[in-house]
Amino acid sequence: MKKYILILAAATTLGFTSCGSDYLDTTPNDAISRSTAFSTTKNCALAVNGLAKQMTNQYLGTQGLNGEGTILNWYNDFNGNDHQKCANTGWSSLWNNLASFKTSKTSLYTYYPWYYYYKLIGNANAIIDAVDDAEGTESEKAFIKAQALVYRAYSFYRLSTLYSKRWCDSNNGASHGIVLRLKATDPTEDQAQAQATLAETYQQIYADLDQAISLFSSSSEKRSSSEFYLPDLSVAYAVKARAALYREDWQTAADCAAKARSGYSIMGEKAYAEGFNSPNDEWIWGVYEAEDQTLYYYSYFAYIGSNASGSQGRNYPLAISKELIDKIPTTDVRRNLYLVPQSDAEFKTMTASGSTAGRVTKGAMYQRAVNSGYLYATSRVYGYMQFKLRAAFMPGGGSFNLFRAAEMYYTEAEADCHLGKEAEARQLLYDVVHPYDASYVLSTKTGNDLLDEVTTYRRFDLFGEGFDWTDCKRWKKDIARKELKVSAGLASPGSFNSTFAITIPAGDDTRWIWAIPNKETDYNSAILADE
C-alpha cells in the first residue's frame, strides 16, 4: 500500500509521498497533524519527497503551470535569444518580454514564480524547523535538514534572478533583493517583512548551502542511485556554483563547480541523443515524472518534446536559432539533433511564398525529419526544429534534469576566464566539447574571444534546459532575434517568425525584472517601494 501524508503549513498544503520504489505519488488519501507528520525522521524524509513532488505539480488551475518545467521553459528559454516556439504567436507578448507583463502586479505570469517558490520555501522551512526534534538518529536529521536547506537556497536563487536586478547593476548588492522567509509561519500571524538587499539575499543563499554542505558531509546517509530527484552534497555544490556565477563571485563559482561535477562523467554521444527524459551518469539533480503520475498535457515535455502528442508539441515545435547553430561546426555530432538546412534548395523550402515561415511540408529536409524517428505521427515540421528533447511517454511526460556535469564544466571555464586562468578554461572547454567533436582541438583564443567561445558552446550544449534568458540577463546581453526572410537565401540572418523577431536591450529594466505581485504586497506592508 502506497502511503500519502498531508500537512497544512505555511498557509499552503504540502503533499508528502512514500520513498523507495514508490517514488513520487500524487493523490493524497489521508491527512494528519503537523506534529505527527514531523515526529520521526522517517516522516521528515517523506516531507522532503513532498518537496520533490512539488516540482512537477500543476498550479493555479492553469495548464502551462507545471512546477519547475514552467520556470525552465516560459521564464527562461522561450524569453531568450536561442529558442523559438514555431508559429505559436498567441504567446508572443509573454515570450517577447513585453513590459506590460512584467510590470503588471495582477498578472498570473507575474505571480506564478513568486507563488511557486514561496510554496517550496514555506514547506522547506517546516522541515528545517521540525527535524531537530524528530525521533531518529543525528545522522538522519543532518541529511534531511541539509536537503531542505538546498530546496530553500535554490528557491531564493531562482526568485532573485527574476525579481531583482542583475548583480552588475545592483551597486554591489545594495539594490532590492527578495523577501527572506526563514521560518514556517502561521497564516494568521502578521506577515509583514521587507525585502532584503540583493547582497543579503546571496548571503543567505550561501549560508543555507554552506550549512547543507556541512550537514551532508557529517552525515553517513546517502541518497540511493534511483533518487536523482533529491538533493545531496553534489547538488548543494552545484546550486552554490550557479548562484555564485550569477553573483559574479568567480572563485566560488569555479571551486564549487569542480566539486559538484566530481564523480560525474560527460554523457557520450549515444546518451546525449536519447531524449533527455531519464537520468544518466551525468545528471546531478533532476525532476521525476512517471507514466502513472504524469501531468498529461500539463507536463514539461508536452511543450518542448519533438515527439509529444499534445498540440503544443505537435503544432509548435521548439527550434534553435540559426544564429546559434551556425556557430557550431558541422563536425559536432550534436548538430544532428536539429533540422538544419543542408543547401540553398532546402533553405528555400522554408521560405516558399504562401507558407508559414519556416514550415516544411515536402522535400529532402522534410523526409529527414519524418524518417528520424523523433516525431509524433502528425507533428508539423519546421526548419531548425530540435530533436534533442523528447518525451518518454505520451502526451508529453518524462523526467528532466536541473543540473548536470556539463553545466559545471562551463561554469568553471567561464569563471576561470574572469580569473585570468585561461589555460585552465581552454582545457575545461576541450574536455566538454571533444566527446562530441573529434576534430575539436584545444582552443588558442584569449581574452573576450575565449570567453565568447565558452559561452557559445554553453548556449548550444545546454539548449532547452532553462538557461537562455537568465544567461542573457547576467551577461547583460541584448536579446536580438532575427526574422526569417521569405526572399532571402541561405545566408539570410535569421530563423524567427516575424512575430518573435525582436530586439530587447539589455538595459531595459522593465523587461528584465518582474514586478512583485499584489498578492504579496496586499498583505505585506513592509515591501519597499519600487526602485
With respect to residue 145, please indicate whether it lies within any of the assigned structural domains: yes
Whether the CB-CB separation of 198 and 165 falls below 8 Å is answered with yes
Query: 313 burial class (0-12, 13-18, 19+ CB within 10 angstroms)?
Result: buried
The residues that bridge with 9 in the sheet, in sequence order, are 12
- The 3-class SS string of 237-273 reads HHHHHHHHHHHCCHHHHHHHHHHHHCCCCCCCHHHHC
User: Is 285 in a helix, a strand, or coil?
Assistant: strand
With respect to residue 204, please indicate whether it lies within any of the assigned structural domains: yes
Q: Which helix (H) or strand (E) holds 9?
A: strand 4-9
Amino acid 424 reads E
Same domain, 122 and 260: yes
Same domain, 258 and 333: no
pLDDT tens for the chain, 531 residues long, are 233 333 333 333 343 333 333 323 333 334 456 777 899 999 999 999 999 999 999 999 998 899 999 999 999 999 999 999 999 998 898 899 887 777 889 999 999 999 999 999 999 999 999 999 999 999 999 999 999 999 999 999 999 999 999 999 999 999 999 999 999 876 556 678 999 999 999 999 999 999 999 999 999 999 999 999 999 999 999 999 999 999 999 999 999 999 999 999 999 999 999 999 999 999 999 999 999 888 999 999 999 999 999 999 999 999 999 999 999 999 999 999 999 999 888 888 887 755 678 999 989 999 999 999 999 999 999 999 999 999 999 999 999 999 999 999 999 999 999 999 999 999 999 999 999 999 999 999 999 999 999 999 999 999 999 999 999 999 999 999 999 886 655 667 789 998 999 999 999 878 999 999 999 999 898 986 554
Please say which residue of 398, 413, 434 terminates a domain: 398
Please say which residue of 362, 382, 398 terminates a domain: 398
With respect to residue 4, please indicate whether it lies within any of the assigned structural domains: no
| pLDDT value at residue 13 | 36
Specify the CATH number for the domain of residue 134: 1.25.40.390
Q: How far apart are CA 162 and CA 441, in angstroms?
A: 37
Whether the CB-CB separation of 120 and 176 falls below 8 Å is answered with no
Whether the CB-CB separation of 49 and 22 falls below 8 Å is answered with no
CA 188 to chain centre: 34
Same domain, 80 and 216: yes
Amino acid 185 reads T
Same domain, 454 and 508: yes
| pLDDT value at residue 392 | 97
Q: How far apart are CA 46 and CA 334, in angstroms?
A: 39
User: Is 318 in a helix, a strand, or coil?
Assistant: strand
Domain extent at residue 341: 291-398
Same domain, 74 and 215: yes
* Total structural domains within the chain: 2
For 63, half-sphere exposure in the C-beta direction (CA atoms, 13 angstrom radius) is 9
Same domain, 250 and 336: no
**Which ranges in 55-107 belong to alpha helices (H)?**
68-72, 92-95, 99-103
Of 99, 73, 100, 95, which is closest to residue 501 (Cα–Cα)? 95
Please say which residue of 398, 415, 432 terminates a domain: 398
With respect to residue 492, please indicate whether it lies within any of the assigned structural domains: no
| pLDDT value at residue 1 | 24
With respect to residue 18, please indicate whether it lies within any of the assigned structural domains: no
With respect to residue 378, please indicate whether it lies within any of the assigned structural domains: yes
Same domain, 355 and 413: no
Same domain, 108 and 246: yes
Same domain, 315 and 385: yes
Same domain, 140 and 107: yes
With respect to residue 10, please indicate whether it lies within any of the assigned structural domains: no
